[in-house]
Structure 1
Amino acid sequence: MNKNRLLKLLNIFIKYTDEEHFLSMQDIITLLEQEDIFVSRKAIYDDIKVLRENGYDIEIIKGKQMKYHLLNHTFDLIEAKLIYDSINSINFLSSKTTQSLSNKLLDNMSIYQKESIINSSLKTNSKYDNDKTLYILSDLQNAISNAYLVSFNYFDITLDKQKKYRYDKKQYELLPYALVLIQQRYYCIFYSLQHKSFSNYRVDKIDNLIIKNESLEKIPFNLEEYLSKSFKMFAGKPENITIQFQNELLNVVLDEFGLDLLIIDKSDTHFTINITTTITDNFLSWISQFKNKAKIIAPISIIERYKQHLKDILNTYI
């Protein structure tokens, strides 16, 4: 058995066949000859048998002219498209890395599937110039796996589009617990040994990350529960709130909080929910976009805060 020939034959099946596209024996011979491989039909039959015995689902269609195709590519068409679109929509990947990852994916597809995916996908133009965020993600994942403490600087962007480090470039020293992707941005959930609390930081705003190669003992942490009480990754103390919405907003509310949302009351016109989440200005702004179609029912403290939130907006125009 010629291993090089076997590999070339497999690549031909991957590249030129799929569920809807086939090769005749003469097609296979011609493609092998283009690779400077000259071989008999019997040798190709034997190689196809070896590939099939090793798990490659090469189907043989019998007829006046035998046809062959590979059914089990690494990903089927829709799986590959989902991955391709995800890679191309993530803006913190550089154009170079995006292209490299896309090529690795598409190299496992037939030329017909590749063309279909590329022609039906939209690429984002807002790509980063470098892969700094990708490297930081890798280091943070390593720190999470080993329970390592890390230190880093955290910055905002100024009107001049320059970095401005918080706290006079003071290094944060925190223990990373999890990385989560929310609305195409990665956040790292850290635990502060000093403040005994969790907080969220955008990974693309982390700079000068240093891993302290000393494992620490972690406290129990439930990521799903934590995220359910954190509105759009804004930090704060979770509070219980009851809100009434008009029924036309049901799908909008379910999109935000999920199908497991507890609806405590409903009628022909309204439904009421009770949730525990961080009551930030961002959350109050989310409610205010619905105008008179959403109403906070309880508690009084949040109602008063919401009134002040609306007054502050109104005062901007007075």
Structure 2
Amino acid sequence: MPKAPNQKLKLLHLMQILLEQTDENHALSISDIIDKLARCGITAERKSLYDDLEALRAFGLDIETVKSRSVGYYIASRSFEPPELKLLVDAVQSCKFITAKKSAELIKKIESLTSVHEARLLQRQVYVQNRVKTMNESVYYNIDTIHSAISAGCKIRFQYVEWTVEKNSRPRRGGRFYEVSPYALVWDDEFYYLVAFETESASVRHYRVDKMKAISVTQTARDGAHHFADLDMALYARRMFGMWHAEDQVVRLRFANRLVGVVIDRFGRDIPIVPDGDDRFTVTLTLATSPQFFAWIMGFGSEAEILSPPTVRQALANQLEQIAALYR
């Protein structure tokens, strides 16, 4: 008797059924599997299915059995466990540089990594529709283009946009293209930033990737490599605030003891913390003293103070006076 056209695909369909429809709490009996294969146009006998299940086990699929009224089969372990998938879903849905549309697409793909039953639990965690998201759909692909340029050691060209008070985006510099040497991508405060060398100003610059448009890789080799030769990108990103470009300075700060967790979260556990009286401590750090840094310090009120250098201390005092003047 000739085999049905789909019989050669039986093992593949069996694997797909197990991966999509079973987990520790949802096993399928041999009868269930026969019925589901039949819906795919595939006939199967019990004996052949036992052999097929053993073949899939030998292939590496973690198929376990459970006994209740009848013997059931399910996938016991996968590349990603449900808690790991929930972390991925949370990261995607909270990430501002991914559009709401792309977030939904990625979450759907994440759901395919587990059973349909576990996927429903992931769906209950998805709240992307009303999150603040970027409106630049191309950012997802810009990241890949930038990585390609970094690997190839080439410069990139792009337009950089900004918002108007009418809530429209417009290119900066009257639409003139930027051309920079890309060296790294940094994810900071839920946004992706390009760290690059700008030949025109002979300095390291940062660009938010979701504000970059019409990006392309040039045939021109990068320059400015000496700026990045010994640069620890993790430490570099840590001393920036909002990736604002500013002069690095050695700054001594004093905080209330209750803020020690905040300081460690921001700068890491390896920073030297020096007790200063019963309820204060000091730290000495190399930081980019940008307006964002001052805003961070001011957020703690009288529980945070810049001790030195005097120029940075005075710069914050000047900013406080300007703000106070607005409310007089």
TM-score by length of 2: 0.90
Question: Mean alpha-carbon deviation: is it higher for 147-156 or for 99-108?
Answer: 99-108
- Distance (whole Å) between structure 2 residues aligned to residue 127 and residue 299 of structure 1: 39
3-state SS of paired residue (1:254): helix
- Distance (whole Å) between structure 2 residues aligned to residue 130 and residue 288 of structure 1: 32
- Distance (whole Å) between structure 2 residues aligned to residue 81 and residue 296 of structure 1: 41
- Distance (whole Å) between structure 1 residues aligned to residue 102 and residue 50 of structure 2: 39
Cα distance per residue 1:248-283 (max 9 Å; x no partner): 222222222223332133543111111111111111
2:150 maps to 1:140: no
Alpha-carbon distance, 1:111 to partner: 1.6
2:24 maps to 1:14: no
Shift of the 96–23 alpha-carbon distance from structure 1 to 2, 3 Å rule, reads same
2:300 maps to 1:299: no
- Equivalent position of 1:172 in the other structure: 178
- Distance (whole Å) between structure 2 residues aligned to residue 98 and residue 261 of structure 1: 36
The one-letter code matched in structure 1 to 2:221 is S
Alpha-carbon distance, 1:241 to partner: 0.7
2:114 maps to 1:104: no
How many residues align? The count is 318
- Distance (whole Å) between structure 1 residues aligned to residue 68 and residue 318 of structure 2: 78
Alpha-carbon distance, 1:157 to partner: 0.3
- Distance (whole Å) between structure 2 residues aligned to residue 44 and residue 183 of structure 1: 52
3-state SS of paired residue (2:32): helix
User: Structure 2 residue aligned with 1:71, among 70, 76, 97?
Assistant: 76
The one-letter code matched in structure 2 to 1:145 is S
Alpha-carbon contact 2:134-2:210 (below 8 Å) kept: no
User: Structure 1 residue aligned with 2:29, among 24, 49, 53?
Assistant: 24
2:270 maps to 1:264: no
Alpha-carbon contact 2:28-2:73 (below 8 Å) kept: yes
The one-letter code matched in structure 2 to 1:101 is L
- Distance (whole Å) between structure 2 residues aligned to residue 303 and residue 224 of structure 1: 26
Question: Mean alpha-carbon deviation: is it higher for 191-200 or for 122-131?
Answer: 122-131
Shift of the 20–261 alpha-carbon distance from structure 1 to 2, 3 Å rule, reads farther
2:254 maps to 1:244: yes
3-state SS of paired residue (1:233): coil
TM-score by length of 1: 0.92
Flag as ranges the 4+ runs of structure 1 deviating above 6 A. Answer: none
The one-letter code matched in structure 1 to 2:187 is L
Shift of the 93–285 alpha-carbon distance from structure 1 to 2, 3 Å rule, reads closer
Shift of the 129–141 alpha-carbon distance from structure 1 to 2, 3 Å rule, reads same
2:273 maps to 1:285: no
User: Structure 2 residue aligned with 1:214, among 217, 220, 224?
Assistant: 220
Shift of the 4–298 alpha-carbon distance from structure 1 to 2, 3 Å rule, reads same
Gaps of 5+ in 2: 1-5
Alpha-carbon contact 1:190-1:198 (below 8 Å) kept: yes
- Equivalent position of 1:50 in the other structure: 55
Question: Mean alpha-carbon deviation: is it higher for 149-158 or for 119-128?
Answer: 119-128
2:92 maps to 1:82: no
Alpha-carbon distance, 1:233 to partner: 0.9
Alpha-carbon distance, 1:128 to partner: 4.6
Alpha-carbon distance, 1:130 to partner: 5.4
- Equivalent position of 2:3 in the other structure: none
Alpha-carbon contact 2:100-2:128 (below 8 Å) kept: no
User: Structure 2 residue aligned with 1:153, among 159, 173, 178?
Assistant: 159
3-state SS of paired residue (2:80): coil
Shift of the 294–130 alpha-carbon distance from structure 1 to 2, 3 Å rule, reads closer
The one-letter code matched in structure 2 to 1:230 is M
Shift of the 120–152 alpha-carbon distance from structure 1 to 2, 3 Å rule, reads closer
- Distance (whole Å) between structure 1 residues aligned to residue 85 and residue 290 of structure 2: 38
Shift of the 253–186 alpha-carbon distance from structure 1 to 2, 3 Å rule, reads same
Q: How does 1:299-318 map to 2 (within 5 A)?
A: 299-318=309-328
Gaps of 5+ in 1: none
Give the root-mean-square deviation of aligned CA atoms: 2.1
Shift of the 15–267 alpha-carbon distance from structure 1 to 2, 3 Å rule, reads farther
2:195 maps to 1:185: no
2:234 maps to 1:224: yes
Percent identity, aligned pairs only, is 30
- Equivalent position of 1:39 in the other structure: 44
